[in-house]
Structure 1
């Protein structure tokens, strides 16, 4: 799994011109699922994101997690994170999991992330044409790949 995590003041997902999900302070997580991902990736990534200390403490040092600041989370599926651009100019998405694999893993990730945070998170709709808006706070953007755990 690959995740792009952005610390936001607000973020939203619109579908067909209507806001589907919206959060205030927290994290926007763009999640790409590969053919090789499994439930071990879900558990590791969810814990890593929920405990990632990228929010400022009282000394203005990034020392607090999403849990610590009681922040919100918005998770959006994004298969393009698995793009390979090694050959030519058209990205290849052969490493991205198809819906039969990706949808169950996406749902399990969302459930695990909610469990780790202890509260509901917002999502987009898997496979929908979504418009994502955000106000990146910092800006702070972190990329995590579960294939690089060590």
Structure 2
């Protein structure tokens, strides 16, 4: 699994002109799944994200986790994270998991985050989505299982 994590001041995801999910302070997660990913990969990333210390403390040091600051998560499925652009000009998405497998693992991943007492909002799997957010910092990290 791959997750692009972006620290956000606020974020919304809209589908067909309707807000599907919205958060204030927290993380925007773009989540990609490949064929070999399992629940073990989702468990690892959920644990890593819940404990990641990338919010500033009173001294301006990144020492606080999302739980420490009362943040929330906006999780958006993103098969294009497995786009291969090494050949030609059009990405090849063969490394991305098929939709049924990806949705199952994406849903499992979000539930694991919720089990860690995190608020998780989502987009709509498989739909065209507009994601808007204010990147805080900016802080952007790529996490892989």
TM range, smaller chain: over 0.9
Q: How does 1:1-150 map to 2 (within 5 A)?
A: 1-116=1-116, 118-146=117-145
**What's the C-alpha RMSD, in Å, of the aligned pairs?**
0.7
Q: Distance in 2 between matches of 1:36 and 1:87?
A: 23
TM-score (norm. length: structure 1): 0.94
Superposed displacement of residue 139, structure 1:
0.4
- Name stretches of at least 5 consecutive residues in structure 2 with no aligned partner: none
Give the secondary structure class of the aligned counterpart of 1:129: coil
Instruction: Compute the displacement of 1:119 (Å).
Output: 3.6
- Deviation at 1:120? 3.1
Residues in 1 aligned to 2:14 and 2:131: alpha-carbon distance in whole angstroms: 7
Cα distance in 2 for partners of 1:29, 1:119 equals 13
Structure 1, unpaired ranges of 5+: none
Q: TM (normalized to structure 2)? A: 0.98
Matched length: 145
